[in-house]
Structure 1
Amino acid sequence: MTLLLAGDTGGTKTILRLVEVSPDFKLKTIYEERYPSQDFPDLVPMVKQFIAEAGKSTAQEVTPEKACFAIAGPVTNNTAKLTNLAWFLDGERLQEDLGIARVSLINDFAAVGYGILGLTKEDVFTLQAGKPNPEAPVGIIGAGTGLGQGFLVKQGDIYQVFASEGGHSDFAPRNELEFQLLKYLMDKHDIQRVSVERVVSGLGIAAIYQFLRDRRSRVADRKMQRESPDIAQMIRSWEEQAGQTEKSVDPGAVIGTAALEKRDRISEQTMQIFIEAYGAEAGNLALKLLPHGGLYVAGGIAPKILPLLQEGSFLLNFTQKGRMRSILTEIPVHIILNSQVGLIGAAISAARL
């Protein structure tokens, strides 16, 4: 048996997992712990504390042979600067300081790609069964803080995982309201183009809500819905905290919950626009990859709004591609429910080192 160390490292929290891998590459979790990232000056003291705690818990000497850490930020030549944390990580330095033979750093969305290979049936919800082809590419799209996109390609008996920056491609409005949204965002931010990430993400949900709210104040149409006072207050509190690292309100969660509970019409309309744009962008990615191995919807938002995704507008806009509709109806579409898919992926990546 080989001991592996897997980590999911972000600006707010880091989850570390000690994993035992058998000769036939089956993974078994031995110990897991979560740490506030800001409590440590670097990853090294955190890992050393984790290994000591794992040793006490398992009553055995813990010596990982290989480690892989999924990083919330770009990774170049096995080095990474975290987006929201003053850490600079270098795989070679970590190997030396931790006494681990092989240490790999991978982007957190690449880790999601590897994690797909370790999911069970209970970890996914199938939105569209399609006609799966296990030899075809697999696509990944995930709205969270930003919009991640990537893909897997099968080479022999294994999959190679590739990240992309597709979330920064242009937002393409498809109706009059979305054209107004595009113009609103360009004017608000004084920019010449709008990326799809500005619409399909947690901050995108907030931006759509602001657009609908501000549009109502400009348009003399009494049929347009008023803001619910409690939602309006929470959004204003979030706006007042602009520029602060820590905020007391998550606007995407507030709006999504209100829409699920059907207690705020602007929130409901916001999520409708968000889901339509999400489905359309997922369809765009599917057209480029033809992922008959499956298109997986990752990220923290999708599982929380699953009932809204099931209502139909996501798939309608996913397949609404003119003459290409028949192709897209054959692509399997899955929602990832397991929030630790990135940690699973880090362990799988470590096992491959």
Structure 2
Amino acid sequence: MATFLAGDIGGTKTILSLFDVPTQGNRPFAALGAMPKPIPLLKKTFPSREYTDLCPLVQEFLAIAENHQGTAISPEAACFGIAGPVIDNASELTNLGWFLRTDTLRDDLNISHVSLLNDFAATGYGVLGLTSDDIYTLQAGEPMSHAPIAIIGAGTGLGQGFLIPHADGYHSYPSEGGHSDFAPRSELEFQLQHYLIERYNIDRVSAERVVSGMGIAAIYQFLRSRSPERESEAMGERYRQWEQQIGHEPKTIDLSAAVSKAAIAGEDALCEEAMNLFVDAYGAEAGNLALKLLPYGGLYVAGGIAAKNLPLMQTGRFMRAFARKGRVSPLLKQVPVHIVLNPDVALLGAALYAIQDVSATT
């Protein structure tokens, strides 16, 4: 067995995990498509802002792991998914003051192979390691081997990425597609767009402004501003508490979560309308991505929001908006569409990439 270290690095929290991987001839399997599933040993979450750099955080985690396992831990390789761009094996997390370089991490951690990946590129590799238990299929489609694969995921923001087949297997790439223009398709969505432009004093609205956690909150604000009399007493109290906490830490109210929970419970009509508008916009943007890539290898809906709101994603609204593309709509009926249920898909992808990195150099 060989041990690998994987990380999911964000501005708020950092998740680290150790995996064991079966080896053949004392080396991991060479191709991503042929790799065994990594076996998780230990996972811990750390508050990123309490550390001056990634290195001391990883060293603390490895010390915890050695105590937990009762033996010395020497990862064969490490890969860290970063919520930001990775250029020339380096990444700067400006909101943390961290500047990460693979060569520095390699030396300081004494790990011979260290990689940095954009977190959505890591999610792409993670998709390759998912099982049927890790996904919920919205549309079976007509899957094709060696076809592009698309990834979209609403969470704090809106991530988008894709995988392209190469001679040595799929390669995963991030994109900034979440910052493309929001495209209203109804009078209500046009009103939402104008509301956001005026509220935030901006000259355009990105898809991320609507299809994300902050988007759910913004949609709810928009709808309550149009019909304040429709707001329930319970949601009104939650909204006032949330508004008072803007700009302050710690927050005790997550407005987006409160809206989605009330909508799933069917106990608040305004919250249900907000989530319907959100799901419509999410499905439409997923369809836009599918049109650009024709991902007959599958389109995977990752990010925390889809899995947490699975009942709302199952109603048919998401897929109706996804497929409503005029005369080219039939093309999208062939695309397999899956919701990723595994919350550790980015960690899994980082581990798989670390295995590939070692295999490519041995």
Deviation at 1:155, TM superposition (A): 0.8
Maintained 8 Å contact 1:115/1:341: yes
Task: Tell me which residue corresponds to 1:243.
Answer: 247
Maintained 8 Å contact 1:199/1:207: yes
Deviation at 1:189, TM superposition (A): 1.2
The CA distance in 2 between the partners of 1:103 and 1:239, in whole Å, is 42
The CA distance in 1 between the partners of 2:210 and 2:157, in whole Å, is 9
The CA distance in 2 between the partners of 1:44 and 1:254, in whole Å, is 36
**Of 180-189 and 10-19, the range deviating more from structure 2:** 10-19
Task: Tell me which residue corresponds to 1:154.
Answer: 165
Indicate the SS of the match to 1:249.
Answer: coil
* Alpha-carbon displacement from aligned partner over 1:274-312 (angstroms, at most 9, x marks no partner): 000100110000000000000000001001111111111
Maintained 8 Å contact 1:141/1:296: yes
* Count, aligned residues: 346
Of residues 127, 145, 154, the one that matches 2:138 is 127
User: What is the TM-score normalised by the length of structure 1?
Assistant: 0.94
Maintained 8 Å contact 1:136/1:293: yes
Deviation at 1:38, TM superposition (A): 2.9
Task: Tell me which residue corresponds to 1:15.
Answer: 15
1:178 counterpart = 2:189? yes
Indicate the SS of the match to 2:52.
Answer: coil
Matches within 5 A, 1:187-336: 187-217=198-228, 226-244=230-248, 246-336=250-340
Maintained 8 Å contact 1:72/1:83: no
Relative to structure 1, the CA distance from residue 313 to residue 145 in structure 2 (aligned partners, 3 Å threshold; closer, same or farther) is same
Indicate the SS of the match to 2:230.
Answer: coil
Deviation at 1:83, TM superposition (A): 5.5
The CA distance in 1 between the partners of 2:260 and 2:332, in whole Å, is 27
Deviation at 1:195, TM superposition (A): 0.5
Deviation at 1:53, TM superposition (A): 2.2
1:164 counterpart = 2:175? yes
Deviation at 1:84, TM superposition (A): 4.1
Task: Tell me which residue corresponds to 1:143.
Answer: 154
The CA distance in 2 between the partners of 1:63 and 1:161, in whole Å, is 27
Of residues 345, 348, 353, the one that matches 1:341 is 345
Matches within 5 A, 1:27-46: 27-46=38-57
The CA distance in 2 between the partners of 1:108 and 1:174, in whole Å, is 30
Maintained 8 Å contact 1:209/1:267: yes
Indicate the SS of the match to 2:11.
Answer: coil
2:132 partner letter: K
* Alpha-carbon displacement from aligned partner over 1:297-348 (angstroms, at most 9, x marks no partner): 0001001111111111100010011111111111100000000101101101
Relative to structure 1, the CA distance from residue 163 to residue 245 in structure 2 (aligned partners, 3 Å threshold; closer, same or farther) is farther
The CA distance in 1 between the partners of 2:253 and 2:115, in whole Å, is 35
Matched residues, percent identical?
55
Structure 2: any 5+ residue segments left out of the alignment? 30-34, 358-362
**Of 305-314 and 238-247, the range deviating more from structure 2:** 238-247
2:292 partner letter: K
1:37 partner letter: S
Task: Tell me which residue corresponds to 1:3.
Answer: 3
The CA distance in 1 between the partners of 2:216 and 2:44, in whole Å, is 32
The CA distance in 1 between the partners of 2:41 and 2:196, in whole Å, is 48
* Alpha-carbon displacement from aligned partner over 1:100-153 (angstroms, at most 9, x marks no partner): 112111111111111001111100000000100121100001001110111001
Deviation at 1:241, TM superposition (A): 2.4
The CA distance in 2 between the partners of 1:318 and 1:124, in whole Å, is 18
Deviation at 1:13, TM superposition (A): 2.3
**Of 271-280 and 153-162, the range deviating more from structure 2:** 153-162
Task: Tell me which residue corresponds to 1:91.
Answer: 102
Deviation at 1:184, TM superposition (A): 0.7
Indicate the SS of the match to 1:76.
Answer: coil
User: What is the TM-score normalised by the length of structure 2?
Assistant: 0.92
Deviation at 1:57, TM superposition (A): 2.3
The CA distance in 2 between the partners of 1:53 and 1:196, in whole Å, is 41
The CA distance in 2 between the partners of 1:176 and 1:272, in whole Å, is 15
Maintained 8 Å contact 1:73/1:83: no
The CA distance in 2 between the partners of 1:212 and 1:267, in whole Å, is 9
Deviation at 1:181, TM superposition (A): 0.7
**Of 74-83 and 315-324, the range deviating more from structure 2:** 74-83
Task: Tell me which residue corresponds to 1:220.
Answer: none
* Alpha-carbon displacement from aligned partner over 1:12-48 (angstroms, at most 9, x marks no partner): 3222112222233322223332323233222111211
